[in-house]
Structure 1
Amino acid sequence: MANCTVNVTNAILNLQKVTSIPTFILGVLGNIYVLLMFCRSPRSEWNYMKIYITNMAIADCVVLVILPIKIHFYDIPWTYPKEVCNLLLSVYYVNMYVSIFIMTAISVVRFVAIMYPMKAREILCCRNALVVCALIWIIICSFSTIYFVHDSDNDKTMCFQRTREGLSLLFILLLSIVGFLLPFLIMLFCTIKVIFTLRKQLEIGSRCEKIQCIFIIAANLIVFVICFFPVHFGYFFKYMAYTHSCDMQFIAHNFLHSAFCISNMNCGLDCFSYYFATKTSWDLCCMKQTREEGSECNYVSPTNLKRNS
Structure 2
Amino acid sequence: MTNTSDNCSFTAVDSLAWTVQLGISIPTFILGLVLNSLALSVFCCFWRKQTKTSVYMINLALADVLLLLSLPPKLYYSVTTVPGLLCSFIQAPYFVNTYTSIFIIVCITVDRYICIRHPFEGRANQSPRWALLICGFIWAVAWICSSPIYVFHKKEPIKCFHNMSAQTWSVPFIVSVEIFGFLIPLVVMVFCSAQTIWILLNHKTQDKKSVEESGSLRVIVINLVVFLVCFTPVHLGICLQCLVKQQVIVGCTVRQTISLFLQVSMTFANLNCCLDAIFYYFAAKEFCKKAQLKRVIELCPVFNPCAVSWHCRHWESSPCQDTDCATPGTATTTGRRTTCSQ
Same topology, TM > 0.5: yes
**Distance in 1 between residues matched to 2:42 and 2:327, nearest whole Å:** 15
Residue in 2 that maps onto 1:69: 73
Deviation at 1:286, TM superposition (A): 4.6
1:112-166 CA distance string (max 9 Å, x none): 00111121111222011111101111111111123333x3237752112228967
Alignment of 1:278-289 (within 5 A): 279=284, 283-288=309-314, 289=316
- Partner secondary structure for residue 169 of structure 2: coil
Deviation at 1:180, TM superposition (A): 0.5
- Give the paired residue count: 296
**Distance in 2 between residues matched to 1:48 and 1:66, nearest whole Å:** 28
- Partner secondary structure for residue 2 of structure 1: coil
What fraction of aligned residue pairs are identical, expressed as a percent? 29
Residue in 1 that maps onto 2:143: 141
Q: Of 259, 262, 269, which aligns to 2:268?
A: 262
Residue in 2 that maps onto 1:305: none
Residue in 1 that maps onto 2:62: 58
**Distance in 1 between residues matched to 2:188 and 2:73, nearest whole Å:** 33
Please tell me whether the aligned partners of residues 202 and 210 of structure 1 are also in contact (alpha carbons under 8 angstroms).
no
1:31-67 CA distance string (max 9 Å, x none): 1100100121151x21111110111111111110111
Pair 1:282–1:125, CA change in 2 (3 A): farther
Q: Of 6, 13, 19, which aligns to 2:18?
A: 13
**Distance in 1 between residues matched to 2:185 and 2:47, nearest whole Å:** 32
Deviation at 1:189, TM superposition (A): 0.3
Q: Which of these two proteins has the greater Rg computed from alpha carbons? A: 2
State the AA in 1 paired with 2:280: Y
State the AA in 2 paired with 1:226: V
**Distance in 2 between residues matched to 1:171 and 1:155, nearest whole Å:** 22
Alignment of 1:116-265 (within 5 A): 116-149=118-151, 151-153=152-154, 157-162=158-163, 167-201=169-203, 204=206, 207-208=210-211, 211-242=214-245, 243=247, 244-265=250-271
State the AA in 1 paired with 2:169: L
Pair 1:220–1:202, CA change in 2 (3 A): farther
- Partner secondary structure for residue 160 of structure 2: coil
Please tell me whether the aligned partners of residues 216 and 278 of structure 1 are also in contact (alpha carbons under 8 angstroms).
no
Q: Which stretch shows the higher mean deviation, 51-60 or 151-160?
A: 151-160
Deviation at 1:209, TM superposition (A): 6.8
State the AA in 1 paired with 2:317: T
Bigger relative contact order, structure 1 or 2, given CA contacts below 8 A and separation 6+?
1
Deviation at 1:300, TM superposition (A): 0.9
Q: Which stretch shows the higher mean deviation, 106-115 or 170-179?
A: 170-179
Please tell me whether the aligned partners of residues 51 and 129 of structure 1 are also in contact (alpha carbons under 8 angstroms).
yes
Deviation at 1:193, TM superposition (A): 0.1
Q: Of 311, 322, 325, which aligns to 1:299?
A: 325
Please tell me whether the aligned partners of residues 52 and 106 of structure 1 are also in contact (alpha carbons under 8 angstroms).
yes
1:49-97 CA distance string (max 9 Å, x none): 1110111111111110111111222223x23x33221011111111110
Please tell me whether the aligned partners of residues 47 and 126 of structure 1 are also in contact (alpha carbons under 8 angstroms).
yes
Please tell me whether the aligned partners of residues 110 and 192 of structure 2 are also in contact (alpha carbons under 8 angstroms).
yes
1:160-184 CA distance string (max 9 Å, x none): 2228967222221122110010100
2:27 is equivalent to residue 22 of structure 1: yes
- Partner secondary structure for residue 147 of structure 2: helix
State the AA in 1 paired with 2:15: N
Gaps (5+ residues) in structure 1? 303-309
**Distance in 1 between residues matched to 2:129 and 2:213, nearest whole Å:** 28
**Distance in 1 between residues matched to 2:156 and 2:108, nearest whole Å:** 37
Q: Of 77, 85, 93, which aligns to 1:91?
A: 93
Please tell me whether the aligned partners of residues 156 and 162 of structure 1 are also in contact (alpha carbons under 8 angstroms).
no
Residue in 1 that maps onto 2:317: 290
**Distance in 2 between residues matched to 1:155 and 1:249, nearest whole Å:** 23
Q: Which stretch shows the higher mean deviation, 228-237 or 116-125?
A: 116-125
Please tell me whether the aligned partners of residues 87 and 160 of structure 2 are also in contact (alpha carbons under 8 angstroms).
yes
State the AA in 2 paired with 1:92: Y
**Distance in 2 between residues matched to 1:162 and 1:218, nearest whole Å:** 37
**Distance in 2 between residues matched to 1:202 and 1:209, nearest whole Å:** 14
1:211-262 CA distance string (max 9 Å, x none): 4111111101100110111111001111223421332221111110011111
**Distance in 2 between residues matched to 1:117 and 1:294, nearest whole Å:** 14
RMSD (CA atoms):
2.6
Please tell me whether the aligned partners of residues 117 and 196 of structure 2 are also in contact (alpha carbons under 8 angstroms).
yes
- Partner secondary structure for residue 153 of structure 2: coil
